[in-house]
Amino acid sequence: MVRCGLIGYGAWGQHHARAISSVSGAKLEAICVRSEQSRDRARAEHPQARTYTTVPEMLAREKLDLCDIVLPSHLHFDMAREVLQSGCHLLLEKPMALSLAHCTELIRLSKSQGKLLAIGHELRCSALWGKVKELIQSGAIGKPLFAQIDLWRKPYRLGADGWRYDINRVGNWILEEPIHFFDLARWYLGENPTSVYAAANGKRADHPELQDNFSAIVNFPHGRYAIISQTLAGWEHHQNARLTGTDGAIWASWSGAMDRTFEPSFWLKVQRGESIEEVALNKPSGEVYELVDLVAAVVRSVDEGTPLPCTGEDGWWSAAMCLNSAESINAGRPISFVEA
C-alpha cells in the first residue's frame, strides 16, 4: 500500500481525501488541517486517518510515501519544499507556485531528493479531455493547427479566509482555472509555446486586479496557435475545447451547475472529411471523477514507476503561460517564453 498524507481539507481537499480513499493500492494515513471545524469533519469522514494541525508534526510522526497538498496557492511553495525535503513523493495542486523561480526550485529539489513531483492537472486524466488527446495522437484530424479552449462560469468561491480574492495570496486569477486550459493547449499541440499576448478586464472598479474576463493568444512553432478564454461573470460552468487540424476538427463540450458536480452533461464530436460523428465515452467526465483517476495514476507511479500524467516540468510551463499572460496584460504587448 502507498501510504498517503493529505495537507488541506477545504472544498477540494475533501474531494482529494475521497479520491485517495477510493484508490486501490493507496491508504489515507494522515490529514493535516488547520481549523478545528475542518479537523472534526475530517475525523468524521475518514476515521481511519490520524489528524494533525501542523505539517512538521505530521511528517515527523508518520511514515508516508506520498503527500498530497491542497492549500491556497501562496502556501504551495513552502509546503511543497517541506514535503520533498522530508523524503516524500508529492502530488501538488496547481499552480505549483506563484513564481517561476519557485517552480524551478521545486523541480530541482525533487530531482536532488529522487522523489516524484506530480502537478494536479487532472483534466489530462479525463474521459472527455483525455479522449481529445487520444484522437489527436491517432491522427484523426491530421496535424493540429489551432486550439480554442474557453470557460463560461459563475464567480469564484472566496476560499478560506477570502484568499482567492486577495491578489497577494492567489497571485492572479489566471493561475486558477485558465492554467488548466493552457496546459491542455500545450498538451494537445505537443510543443512548447513561443509567445503569448493577453487582455483582461473586470467589473470591480475598486479592484482592477481581479479580472473577470480574460483571453490570450498563445503562439506555437510553425504558425500554430491557441486561444484561451474565460469569463467569471456568467453562470454555472460551461467549458469547450475546439481544435482544427490538416485533416479534420474536434469539438468537446462539458456543462454542469458547478465544477464539482457529479451529474454533468458532456459530448465529443469529430469531423473527418465531410463526416461528423459523436464519439462515445466509456465513463463520466468531470473533475470529481478525474481527480480519482489522477490520484490512481500518481499512486501507480510511486508503486510501479509508471510515467506521471503531469510532471513538474509540465507544471512549470502551465505556470509560465499564466504568468507571461499577466505580464502581457500589464505591458500591453506579446511576451516571449524563455525555457527554464
The residue-averaged pLDDT of 229-243 equals 97
267 is a domain residue = yes
- Radius of gyration for the alpha carbons in the chain, expressed in angstroms and rounded: 20
Sign of CA dihedral 295, 299, 304, 308: positive
Task: Encode pLDDT of 282-303 as tens digits.
Answer: 899 999 999 999 999 999 999 9
Reported as a pLDDT band with limits 50, 70 and 90, residue 11 is: confident
295 is a domain residue = no
For the cut 80, the answer to whether the pLDDT of residue 260 exceeds it is yes
Alpha helices in the chain (DSSP H): 11-22, 36-45, 55-61, 76-86, 100-113, 129-137, 167-170, 178-189, 287-304, 312-331
Closest alpha carbon to 250 in 126, 122, 121, 131: 131
Q: Does one domain contain both 324 and 180?
A: yes
CATH number of the domain enclosing 14: 3.40.50.720
Cell numbers 500591453: residue:
332
For the chain, report the end-to-end CA distance as a whole number of angstroms. 35
For the cut 90, the answer to whether the pLDDT of residue 247 exceeds it is yes
**Which grid cell sits at 90?**
508529492
Reported as a pLDDT band with limits 50, 70 and 90, residue 242 is: very high
Phi and psi for 47 in degrees, rounded to 5? -65, -20
Count of domains forming the chain:
2
Contacts for 130 with CB less than 8 Å, ≥ 6 apart: 123, 124
Q: Does one domain contain both 28 and 87?
A: yes
Reported as a pLDDT band with limits 50, 70 and 90, residue 219 is: very high
With beta carbons less than 8 A apart as the criterion, state whether 152 and 181 touch.
no
Cα angle: 216, vertex 95, 14; to 5 degrees: 125
Q: What global pTM score does this model have?
A: 0.96
**d(C-alpha 289, C-alpha 261), whole Å:** 10
Q: Does one domain contain both 141 and 278?
A: yes
Residue finishing a domain among 104, 120, 136: 120
Q: Does one domain contain both 150 and 280?
A: yes
Domain that holds residue 115: 2-120
**d(C-alpha 322, C-alpha 182), whole Å:** 8
Question: What per-residue confidence (pLDDT) applies to 251?
Answer: 98
Residue finishing a domain among 59, 88, 120: 120
Q: Does one domain contain both 98 and 127?
A: no
The residue-averaged pLDDT of 122-149 equals 97
300 is a domain residue = no
Residue finishing a domain among 89, 120, 151: 120
Question: What per-residue confidence (pLDDT) applies to 335?
Answer: 98
268 is a domain residue = yes
- Residue 116, classified by CB atoms within 10 Å of its CB into exposed (0-12), middle (13-18) or buried (19+), is buried
**d(C-alpha 10, C-alpha 2), whole Å:** 23
Q: Does one domain contain both 79 and 131?
A: no
Q: Does one domain contain both 160 and 214?
A: yes
Q: Does one domain contain both 137 and 286?
A: yes
The DSSP-derived string for 132-193 is HHHHHHTTTTSSEEEEEEEEEEPPPP--GGGGGG-HHHH--GGGTTHHHHHHHHHHHHTS--
For the cut 70, the answer to whether the pLDDT of residue 340 exceeds it is no
Reported as a pLDDT band with limits 50, 70 and 90, residue 205 is: confident
The residue-averaged pLDDT of 268-291 equals 94
Q: Does one domain contain both 65 and 164?
A: no
**d(C-alpha 52, C-alpha 30), whole Å:** 7
